[in-house]
Structure 1
């Protein structure tokens, strides 16, 4: 299945006053831990319960390491790290700075391999992906919405423009 996208127009204008168009990812569903565990169990000798338990333990152990100011790298998947994002105004002096001025976020970088010239050869999770323009099915009434009154895309959106 390819990654679906739709075209959206930015609400922000360029210096020339143009509102440019950009691709935006369209999600048509979500997958929970149970489904992932069932699918992994099909590829292994582990039961669904064993896989689910391993995933739960992975989350527990990763949380402990991240909350100890450590970066967590999972081979073939990527790297996780906590980052602080400042909220509001900064402080005028170093002494006025506190953790309460920021929120914590988990940042993820997919694993990648590099060529001898240091360019990225592969990037886990995104290498080889095919992107296809999302075209919702047209219903008998001619509406092409996602089943909601707003005529949306029927999925969850990723908004890179804010």
Structure 2
């Protein structure tokens, strides 16, 4: 089924896109965790409750791995990894918080940039866990065999791809929502817009699930309670910095996020 879209005129001022028309994907519905589980159950020997159990273990296992500075690679999905949002600092921060994930401070060397010479933190990843590795870890914490878990993960990727290409948004509890996005160039009028000329490619948009914390702020569910550490600082410096208040802003764990590296989707 072709991807559905609607035209929208960009009205935001002071942008190159202002006044131009762009195609936005149109979604005809949302499939949630239980509906996806029923589809997968129809194509395997597991019960629906077992498939839902695999989903639950998947979310818990991914959360632990991401908080352990691992990248998680799922066949048919792409790669999940941690990233950091931060403010600009003109000097290297010596502050660190309680941690689970590791960060590294690097100076921006790019010339002719407003951020040249400033220090930024980036998440350090110590390894990559693929679907086979996930299945083995998950098997140790449940009664389902690793082969069955791998089969569910494979079916999950195929099922989500099929629904996305049917203009359906897919929402998995504890993880987030997947939907198709269109990347292209705008046209001056709707009549001038052409899929062949204006659409460059399709991609998968992933929106992590968020939950409100005790203060009322929204936090990404996958990274709830996660902290960061600075691997540039020696243990002595880290201990000292942890006990002292920050004077340079440091890194706020509330803005720790993670990136879904999309795999391109080809639609007939």
TM-score, normalised to structure 2, is: 0.44
Q: Deviations over 1:51-99 (max 9, x none)?
A: 000000111110011111111100111111111122xx53333233234
Is 2:141 the counterpart of 1:74?
no
Question: Comparing both structures, which one devotes a greater share of its residues to helix?
Answer: 2
Q: Is the 8 A contact 1:13 1:20 kept in 2?
A: no
Structure 2 counterpart of 1:97: 193
Q: How many residue pairs were aligned?
A: 132
Secondary structure of the corresponding residue to residue 43 of structure 1: coil
1:129-144 alignment, distance < 5 Å: 129-135=226-232
- CA deviation after TM superposition for structure 1 residue 23, in Å: 0.9
Structure 2 counterpart of 1:61: 159
Structure 2 counterpart of 1:108: 206
List, as ranges, runs of 4+ consecutive aligned residues in structure 1 with deviation greater than 4 Å.
115-118
TM-score, normalised to structure 1, is: 0.69
Quick one: structure 1 residues 117 and 21, their matched pair in 2 at CA, closer, same or farther if it must change by over 3 Å? closer
Q: Deviations over 1:9-42 (max 9, x none)?
A: 332532xx85322111222210110000111111
Is 2:102 the counterpart of 1:4?
yes
Secondary structure of the corresponding residue to residue 129 of structure 1: coil
- Inter-partner Cα distance in structure 2 for 1:21 and 1:116: 32
- Inter-partner Cα distance in structure 2 for 1:95 and 1:118: 46
Q: Deviations over 1:73-128 (max 9, x none)?
A: 00111111111122xx53333233234423222122222223698631x4221111
Quick one: structure 1 residues 6 and 73, their matched pair in 2 at CA, closer, same or farther if it must change by over 3 Å? same
- Inter-partner Cα distance in structure 1 for 2:154 and 2:104: 34
Structure 2 counterpart of 1:146: none
Any gaps of 5 or more consecutive residues in structure 1?
136-157
Any gaps of 5 or more consecutive residues in structure 2?
1-67, 69-99, 233-258, 260-268
